[in-house]
Structure 1
């Protein structure tokens, strides 16, 4: 299995946050690979079984899954939270919890992008192809809303625990103006985006095993108690933290889980 994360080249640093590659050459059985809330829209090339897809995902709050069988390649370009409008000319809230097929985008057809992604041999080749696409896209992009980007950066930097009143004062905006700004450019309300960022901070701590008790993860990330963390985790992944850890371990070991979570 290959799992890698890259920073974008400097020319794309204003619109791309990071690039993640997951490649598994041989899977035992059929898998549901979860796409958990990450507080960022994304462009994802996915290949498994006989099919491939190139999708644009908006902010995902509801748990989403990718069906995988035989093999799996996922190459995801995570955009800045306010990147959908400048790059694709759409309101961010129109794409929330949706995956949009990019095959019909004129630039994708002009470049023969998906066919070239399908024909690429290595993940590195696919990363370079998408970089070329995004550079072309940026050349005709509308000017993004820098205020929305700045606000999202502040919230993410505070792991979702930033006081909304402080943010309104910092931006010199009313609550209603801030709501409209986030709906159009980020796709979630300020509080909704904060909740995803808070979950992501807890998710990272849980994933690297940096805790003794689950309650430590809850308190470290601003949750009232362990039950509050579990409810948030179930909302964004469809699983409890314990179930997620068990399924991740099974996936990494290449052991298929039968329906109901038994081996």
Structure 2
């Protein structure tokens, strides 16, 4: 078993989350994840509930690596905090200030088109108002989230909103979701030709499928998973071996890995690791 095979068997199903400087982030807000109602299991990976209280404190800028999923966020009272956010090519940054609680829905990649009513590529790298997708009921649901006494009330309000918009997962959407699952399940898939072999689709077919249902090209989807893996390892490994990491992630050489990483994050792997460790709280004081 070579190094790539060893890496493959140690990674189970992956969901890129990409919270930059996560150790520091945990001191700035609380984040919990909850399963959706059973009726939504085909469409939703999970709900995430976020709370922060920055009253009397300077605002905090939280960065998140590019994500493959569509997210619907309900954060009334937070500037730019509510909307439907498409898959992104750039690092997302959000300013936390005041006291806010809210909920986000992470839709399964490939499964949002039924709600959107059009190609998911139409909302790539941008957001649209909640009411554009879910109608006026989204405003009432957001207010229910704002006044909720606990996580369960938030989740119930948004589950009810989504269930009130009954949709079906088309065969093409299932095919798209399965293709993304193939990438998530197997880090050994590092090229589109490998994904085609795994799914039985031609290159042209899988490109059309991803544009319609995932919102980005399959090559970019593979890159998102690889570089989220890289970012996590850069933070958790004390002295990262960049050449070895490039090999484990399926890159032909270290320079290619560094170029890809810089394209997505705006930083070299060394800069990313250094800044992430520099912002970690001093464990001796906690």
Unaligned runs of 5+ in 2: 1-28
- Aligned partners of 2:238 and 2:163: how far apart in 1? 41
Deviations 1:10-51 (A, max 9, x none): 3322111123333222263123222322321111223566x5
Tell me, yes or no, if structure 1 residue 218 matches structure 2 residue 249: no
- Aligned partners of 2:240 and 2:94: how far apart in 1? 30
Deviations 1:229-251 (A, max 9, x none): 44333333334445555665677
- Choose which of 213, 219, 226 in structure 2 pairs with 1:191: 219
In terms of fraction of residues, the more strand-rich structure is: 1
- Choose which of 85, 98, 102 in structure 1 pairs with 2:113: 85
Unaligned runs of 5+ in 1: 255-263
Compare relative contact order (CA 8 Å, sep 6+) and give the higher one, 1 or 2.
2
Q: How does 1:34-45 map to 2 (within 5 A)?
A: 34-45=63-74
Matched pairs, number? 251
- 1:253–1:127 distance in 2 versus 1, CA, 3 Å: farther
- Choose which of 149, 154, 167 in structure 2 pairs with 1:126: 154
Q: Say whether the 8 Å CA contact 2:63–2:93 is kept in structure 1.
A: yes
| Higher deviation after alignment, 178-187 or 212-221 | 212-221
Matched residue of 1:121: which SS?
coil
- Aligned partners of 1:47 and 1:69: how far apart in 2? 13
- Choose which of 166, 170, 177 in structure 2 pairs with 1:143: 170
TM-score norm. by structure 1 comes to 0.80
- Aligned partners of 1:160 and 1:8: how far apart in 2? 30
TM-score norm. by structure 2 comes to 0.74
How far is 1:195 from its partner? 0.7
Q: CA RMSD in A?
A: 3.0
Q: Say whether the 8 Å CA contact 1:160–1:198 is kept in structure 2.
A: no
Matched residue of 1:112: which SS?
helix
